Structure 1
Amino acid sequence: MTQEWWQQEPAPAAKSDARPASRELFEDWLAEMDYALEGFTALGLPDQFTAVPFSRASVVMLEDVTLSRYADPRAFLDAEGPWVDGAVRYAGEAFRRAFGGAWDYSTDLNDPVVGKPYVVLDTAPAVPFSPFHALSMAVGDRGGGVLARAWDGQADAQAEQGHGELDDQRPSEQDATLVPGHSADAHLAAFVAGVDAEVRAWARGPAAPAAQWDGSATSLDLLAQQVVDRKVSVADPMEDPYLSGASRYLGRTLQQLYGGGWQRGQGAKDPMSPYAGRCYLVRLTDEGERISVSPEYLVEVAAEEGDSSIITDGAGTYAP
């Protein structure tokens, strides 16, 4: 049996305009994230794995399970089959969902994370988190707490960044709540934990066929058109299963494409406010500027006004 593709060191890239084969395989690997995670959590984790999905407690439990399976880093490195792949996916996704960011892959032989998928987190300065290396370190250390320390370090870094005012249309510090891992907002934690499952159910249900929702930027054009074609028959558009799922898909796609983390505006939901009582995305630019977007609000207004450009323009504003 051969190793998982990302466990192999890539050969030096030839001088060509074509992307390296490993990069193409990485993109395929990333496209299968949801289904791979679903299989890993259902079949790869023990029944005692009862922590909230993708929470700090869950990565601590994942480290414990990894230590029980592998006696040393070499055994972990040499492991065949899908379990290590699933553990890498799970740890990386837990950090990405909590702190914002995006998966990436390097073919630069001078890069310490070359050949392994990693997450560039949105905490400043942007630091690559390699779940493969973190889990390998945990297996070698065997003292426990490697992932917990990494999580707490990211939480501290994000807390230090603060929440300065953006502008009159953006949430201020007192309106914003930090993402899970360093927040007591149970609503936000439940929202973040449920986004992927809700998107899958939406894509297979009211938005079927699921194949058209591939997480690409172009799929958002289709989404915008379908939203305005939807006849809103309820007072709160988010009570409509299609529109509610569409807002989750819009947010998840923007996060996967451009990074960022979920936050939640305080207070009751206000139909006139993009942020009050809503979960929204915030990302940092390279200059430290905070850019935010409220997917739920974009979908609501687009559906009510019949204007697809509200979604496409909003997505464009969030993009780098």
Structure 2
Amino acid sequence: MNELQREFTAFINNMDVRLGAFVLADLPETFEKEDGETVKFPKDFGPQSLPMLELFVLSKFPSTEEILKPEHRRFFEGLIRYLGETYLRAIGGVWDHDEMTGNGMPFIRPDNAEGPAAGEPIPLVGIVLAAVDQRSAEVFTAVLNKARELLGGDGKPRRRCTGLSLGVLNEENSSEEEVEFLSRFIGTVEPGIAAWTQEQADPASWGFDRESLARLGKQVAVRYDGPDDMIAEDETPFTAGAMRFIGETVRRIAIGQWRYGAGLEADDPRSKQPFIRFVIGDQNLDLVPWRLIQAALENDDAIASALDAVIEMREQEAAEADESSDDSASAADGADED
């Protein structure tokens, strides 16, 4: 895997955390329009959010030189993620990358009348720069409208939503306390892990994989004699980094989402703790990294085993879905024969 492929893989794997942080921390709840009217800022990845998003970008950046400054890179990348995911939901397509298109950044390869991902690339970096340069607040929507025309027919996508994110939290689907916590916490996950791994033996060997979780479990069991040792003040950097590493690893592998235990009973393991939620079928499965660290004191395989359990449930869910699909197909064949 070359460097460009590694960067693209990281971009996709980090989508939920980075996109969630952008929506929670960088987009406002309300926005004052040029006529002085204050309106609610739509953050639902719908086409109707594009004009407001573009107005907001223009209010922050007076020129392309300004938005390209290094200190604005995080916002720029978050904006690209949001814009790309919005297009995917409206017209279908896939994230893609190559050395020539989109200034080296990921771009959208949309569906069109010829088939899935058969359209001309939508270079998101160029679209943002054009919007800031033209200052019409119409560029984001114009790009979408053109792509819809190329779908043919009624301009509706020919397949189910292809967006990647699991759904971003807001005041409508979670509590204000949870949103406030995650708006601060999510942005610390990757930097915290990066700093933590640099303090470990052989930093380059730590990856978002089961092997690293198993190694961490053994390290915890050797490092601490009991729970009290883990909460000592000088151990905070290690446990905080380990908690983020565990949560982010299981989230990426088993496809989950960071949540926070707000408004729960004190004896609930999730209370006042960040945790990972997995939606499996019609049920939620929650893993609390802090509890997994503690469990490793008694069983050094507890952390890796928790990941195994989620993967097993995912595989079972997929098998049941396949079986249901086969049953439906058989029933349809029987109806045809009748």
TM-score normalised by structure 1 residue count: 0.51
Q: Give yes or no for the alignment of 1:266 onto 2:266.
A: no
What per-residue deviation string (whole Å, max 9, x for no partner) do you get for residues 149-173 of structure 1? xxxx999x6679x98xxxxxxxxxx
Structure 1 position 57, deviation (Å): 5.2
Structure 1 position 25, deviation (Å): 3.7
2:210 maps to what in 1? 217
CA distance in 2, matches of 1:247, 1:118: 32
User: In structure 2, do the counterparts of structure 1 residues 255 and 112 end up closer, same or farther at CA, with 3 Å as the change threshold?
Assistant: closer
What per-residue deviation string (whole Å, max 9, x for no partner) do you get for residues 100-121 of structure 1? x9xxxxxxxx9454437479xx
Q: Give yes or no for the alignment of 1:193 onto 2:187.
A: yes
2:124 maps to what in 1? 133
Structure 2 contact 250–307 (Cα < 8 Å) conserved:
yes
What per-residue deviation string (whole Å, max 9, x for no partner) do you get for residues 66-101 of structure 1? 77217xxxxx9xx9xx99987664446789xxxxx9
1:50 maps to what in 2? none
* 274-283 vs 110-119, greater mean Cα deviation: 110-119
Query: Alignment partner of 1:277: what SS?
Result: coil
Query: Which of 221, 228, 231 is equivalent to 1:235?
Result: 228
Letter paired with 2:5: F
CA distance in 2, matches of 1:246, 1:312: 13
2:332 maps to what in 1? none
Structure 1 contact 275–294 (Cα < 8 Å) conserved:
yes
CA distance in 2, matches of 1:135, 1:283: 35
CA distance in 1, matches of 2:264, 2:303: 23
Query: Alignment partner of 1:229: what SS?
Result: helix
Letter paired with 1:27: R
What per-residue deviation string (whole Å, max 9, x for no partner) do you get for residues 7-42 of structure 1? xxxxxxxxxxxxxx78x84235445999xxxxxxxx
User: In structure 2, do the counterparts of structure 1 residues 144 and 211 end up closer, same or farther at CA, with 3 Å as the change threshold?
Assistant: farther
Query: Alignment partner of 1:235: what SS?
Result: helix
2:243 maps to what in 1? 247
CA distance in 1, matches of 2:211, 2:107: 25
Structure 1 contact 221–312 (Cα < 8 Å) conserved:
yes
User: In structure 2, do the counterparts of structure 1 residues 249 and 139 end up closer, same or farther at CA, with 3 Å as the change threshold?
Assistant: same
Query: Alignment partner of 1:283: what SS?
Result: strand
Structure 1 position 281, deviation (Å): 0.9
Structure 1 position 213, deviation (Å): 1.5
User: In structure 2, do the counterparts of structure 1 residues 54 and 269 end up closer, same or farther at CA, with 3 Å as the change threshold?
Assistant: farther
Alignment of 1:128-207 (within 5 A): 133=124, 136=127, 139-140=130-131, 142-144=135-137, 177=174, 185-205=179-199, 207=200
1:290 maps to what in 2? 284
User: In structure 2, do the counterparts of structure 1 residues 54 and 135 end up closer, same or farther at CA, with 3 Å as the change threshold?
Assistant: farther
Query: Which of 271, 275, 285 is equivalent to 1:276?
Result: 271
Q: Point out which structure has higher relative CO (alpha carbons under 8 A, 6+ apart).
A: 1
CA distance in 2, matches of 1:132, 1:67: 21
CA distance in 1, matches of 2:198, 2:71: 26
CA distance in 2, matches of 1:224, 1:62: 45
**Which structure shows the higher helix fraction?**
2
Q: Give the length in aligned residue pairs.
A: 225
Structure 1 contact 280–294 (Cα < 8 Å) conserved:
yes
CA distance in 2, matches of 1:293, 1:213: 21
CA distance in 2, matches of 1:131, 1:275: 41
TM-score normalised by structure 2 residue count: 0.49
User: In structure 2, do the counterparts of structure 1 residues 245 and 89 end up closer, same or farther at CA, with 3 Å as the change threshold?
Assistant: same
2:308 maps to what in 1? 316
Query: Alignment partner of 2:63: what SS?
Result: helix
User: In structure 2, do the counterparts of structure 1 residues 311 and 94 end up closer, same or farther at CA, with 3 Å as the change threshold?
Assistant: farther
Structure 2 contact 177–262 (Cα < 8 Å) conserved:
no
Q: Which runs of 5+ in 1 are unaligned?
A: 1-20, 35-52, 71-75, 96-100, 102-109, 120-129, 148-152, 164-176
CA distance in 2, matches of 1:154, 1:111: 11
1:27 maps to what in 2? 6
Query: Alignment partner of 1:228: what SS?
Result: helix
Structure 1 position 268, deviation (Å): 7.5
Query: Alignment partner of 1:187: what SS?
Result: helix
Letter paired with 1:58: D
Query: Alignment partner of 1:284: what SS?
Result: strand
Letter paired with 1:280: F
Letter paired with 2:244: R
What per-residue deviation string (whole Å, max 9, x for no partner) do you get for residues 159-191 of structure 1? 79x98xxxxxxxxxxxxx46xxx7664333322
Structure 1 position 252, deviation (Å): 1.4
Q: Which runs of 5+ in 2 are unaligned?
A: 14-20, 28-52, 86-91, 98-104, 109-120, 142-162, 315-338
Alignment of 1:63-142 (within 5 A): 63-64=57-58, 68-69=63-64, 89-91=77-79, 111=93, 113-115=95-97, 117=106, 133=124, 136=127, 139-140=130-131, 142=135
Letter paired with 2:220: V
Query: Alignment partner of 2:270: what SS?
Result: coil
Letter paired with 1:312: A
